[in-house]
Each structure stands twice: as structure tokens, then as C-alpha cells.
Structure 1
Amino acid sequence: MTSRGEISAIADPLGWRLILGVLISHVPVASLADAASTAQVAVAAAGDADGHLSVDLLADRVVLRLHTAAVGTVTDHDLRLARAISGAVRTAPGHGDAVPQNVEIAIDALDIPLIRPFWQAVTGYVGDPGPPDLPDGALLDPLRRGPTIWFQQMDAPRHRDRNRIHLDVDVPPEHAQARIDAALAAGGVMRDAGAAPAFWVLADPEGNEACVCTWQGRD
């Protein structure tokens, strides 16, 4: 399997970023009609991309995502598609002021098989193959727009002063420090940087935790 570092080295110069097992690119457009035509160009360039390419149309950008749905991660075929798409769209992929990211919801659990069906039922999520950076059993939005939900195995109940649900925010590596600095400036505290650059654990002024994450440090 191609490593995360190898994927990033190939995809970054093409205007794609690796975020939680998915390549993401934004193509700037001038209108929704322009977005539709750009998406058509991307789909045509990709050829048979079912199970690999997804597209969101907005008035100012086309959001492209590539990964192999059957395995939940980026493959060599996805990298070939990224190259073909980037070569076909008339405006070079870029991200402007909207940083590609993915948000996860992590739920602490003593008995994951007991609680997982509840969260699947209440969200309508599916159990397709999840990103390789998450434990088995993650739940995904079938439209891939909402945050991924995953379950963190606990050996003992959380202390009552610590939350049992936290957010993970996955960003390109060069954006991690800016997010951390902004969170600290907004009153947050750094709880743990021992796993950096894979993730940093921060907390808000009342102790609710969130992690800023990147693909680095996971290969």
C-alpha cells in the first residue's frame, strides 16, 4: 500500500490534499453554471470513476474527493485519476480561503458493540470501510458530507470532569499550527502534544476537548 507520505508527495503538487484517507481538491469557479461544466470536465477526464470520485457543486468552487470506497483509502488508481482531472480542468485546483478538512466525532465507550447500533440508527450512517486512520467500526455519512463517527475503547469510565465525546479536526499539515494558535488565543489550553504531528489535544476554557489532526506521523 502506498504510504501517506508518498500519496501527499504525488498529490500536493497537483492541487489535492490528503485528509483522513481522502484526496480533496477545490476548483475555483465563477458561477453555479460554471461549476456544473467544470464538474462535467472532471468526470469525463476521470473516465470510469464510480466508487472513486465524488463531486460537490457550489457557486464559487467545485469540491472534488477521491478515494477507493471499497477499501476506504487512497490507492494508486486514485492518484492516476487526480493527475488526469488536474490536467483537464481549465482552472488549476486550489483552496483559497476554505481549507480542506474533515471533522470526526469520537465517542468514548466501555462497550462499543452495545452503543454503536444506537448511533448508527439515530444518524442514519453506514458502516462502509472507514479511513485507515480510524479504528474499525467507524460510521460514515452515506453522502460523505457529515462528520465521521468513531468509538474510542475505554477500560474504565471517564472522570466526571472530562467529556466523553470530542471532535477531531483533520487539516493539511501546514495549517495545523495556525488552528492550534487560534484555539489557544480563543481561551483554549494545550492538554497533550505528545502524539504530534499526528494530533494535538486541546481543551476549551471549561475542559471540553478537541484534537487537531494531520496525516503526518501515522505511516
Structure 2
Amino acid sequence: MDDHARPSRQEISDATAELGWRLVLGAVYAEVAAPSLAQASQVAALAVQAAGDAGQGHLSVDIRADRAVLRLQSATQWAVTGLDIGLAHRISAELTGRGLRLAPGSVQAIEIAIDALDIRAVRPFWKAVTGYVDEPGPSDLSDGLVDPAGRGPAIWFQQMDAPRPQRNRIHLDVDVPHDAAAERIAAALAAGGTLLSDSAAPAFWVLADAEGNEVCICTWQGRD
């Protein structure tokens, strides 16, 4: 695949899922379990080495005491490109060749969704108060805001047609691997939640807690 290609979500998943990567909110992620912080750091170093210079602006690694979380996405296009898919294969070959296993693990991403009648009026406030920046390119966020340090959840704005009293105006979107959605929904329902709508599934399901506060479980599917 050409490095500059913008493959579809289905193509991205097909090209990386068997390697242990999962597409979540415009990036592919994989986790490598490690028994110590030092060994998680070694996993990160191996991944960076395998990616080489091409990994700059594409590969990021979150090192924890029991794992290294690998993430691939073009920092300029805010999307997975052909290069990212190639890097996923290179990194996977290097790590599996050393007896390490890549898996989806607990991979997920959180978005904050803000309902607004006038998005142009409220968006600058949220940009200023959070210190966030404009997302660098078109993505699932639809003109969203992102943490420039890559730590906080993304923010996006949902257009409202009319005021909706007695309904919360800010909700969370929990983006999970496509093959983890059913288990996550079942757990939420078992914990006292209610399924409000599955009309947009498998792109997202709308759930609510016992007091009606809403959350969406989201996947990449149903969006191409």
C-alpha cells in the first residue's frame, strides 16, 4: 500500500487486526504486556527502533508499569495512512520475533461530546478554557478539539436543532475496539444501565445510567 494512501476503516482493520492492533478513533493501538516498568521501556525502545525515522510523527508509546501501549496515526493527517499500516507490520514483526505478543488489551479512547445550538459561539470558549487546539485534519471528531500533549480526551460538538430540556447536554463517547463493544455494553447494562438506542449500531449505541445521564459506546464500524 502506498505510504500516502488514506485507506478506509475496513481496510485498516483488515490489514492490522490479525497482528493484534485495533482501530479506535482514527488511530491503531496495540498493547504489549510487561512484568516491569523497565521491560515496558525495552518494548518501547524496540518499537521505536523497528519504526526507524519513519516513526517520527506517527508512532507514540505510553509506558506503564505493566505494559507498553503503542499507537500509530499520522500527526499531520490525524488519520491512519498507508505508512502507519506498514509501520504496524514492521513493529509487529520485530516484537513477535522476540517472543512478545501484541494484543488489544484495554485499548480505548474517550471523547467529550457537547450539544450546542450555536457551535461557533461555544467552541472558542471550550478551546480557550481547556488549552486545546484544532484537530489537525478531518476525522471522526467532526471539527473537534484535541489536547496538544495527547493526554486528555478529545472534544467534539453535536449540532442541536432545538433546546432539549431534562436532557444532559454533555456526554461521554467511549470508543472501543469493534470486537469489544458487545462485552462493554453487557457490563454497563448489568451495572444498572439502560440501552436507549441501537439505531446507529455498530457505529454507536446510546446508554444511560440509572438517572438518565447518557454515554455512547462507539466503534469504527458503520462509518465508511
Residues 1:133 and 2:140 are matched in the alignment: yes
Q: Is contact 2:206-2:216 (8 Å) kept? A: yes
Residue 87 of structure 2, aligned match among 72, 81, 84:
81
Q: Is contact 1:20-1:131 (8 Å) kept? A: no
| Cα separation, partners in 2 of 1:218 and 1:204, compared to 1, 3 Å | same
Calculate the TM-score normalised by the size of structure 2.
0.92
Residues 1:209 and 2:219 are matched in the alignment: no
The CA RMSD measured in Å over matched residues stands at 1.3
Deviation at 1:131, TM superposition (A): 6.2
Deviation at 1:143, TM superposition (A): 2.2
Residues 1:146 and 2:152 are matched in the alignment: yes
Residue 8 of structure 2, aligned match among 3, 6, 11:
3
Partner amino acid, structure 2, of 1:205: A
SS of 1:152 mapped into structure 2: strand
Q: How many residues align?
A: 215
2:125 is matched with: 118
Calculate the TM-score normalised by the size of structure 1.
0.94
- In 2, the alpha carbon distance for the partners of 1:163 and 1:135 equals 20
Deviation at 1:8, TM superposition (A): 0.4
Map 1:30-179 to 2 at 5 A.
Answer: 30-48=35-53, 49-89=55-95, 90=98, 91-95=100-104, 98-129=105-136, 132-136=139-143, 138-158=144-164, 160-179=165-184
- Where does structure 2 lack aligned partners over 5 or more consecutive residues? 1-5
Q: Is contact 2:37-2:66 (8 Å) kept? A: yes
Q: Is contact 1:21-1:131 (8 Å) kept? A: no
**What is the percent sequence identity of the aligned residues?**
61
2:18 is matched with: 13
Residue 190 of structure 2, aligned match among 185, 202, 218:
185
Tell me which stretches of 4 or more aligned residues in structure 1 moved more than 6 Å.
none
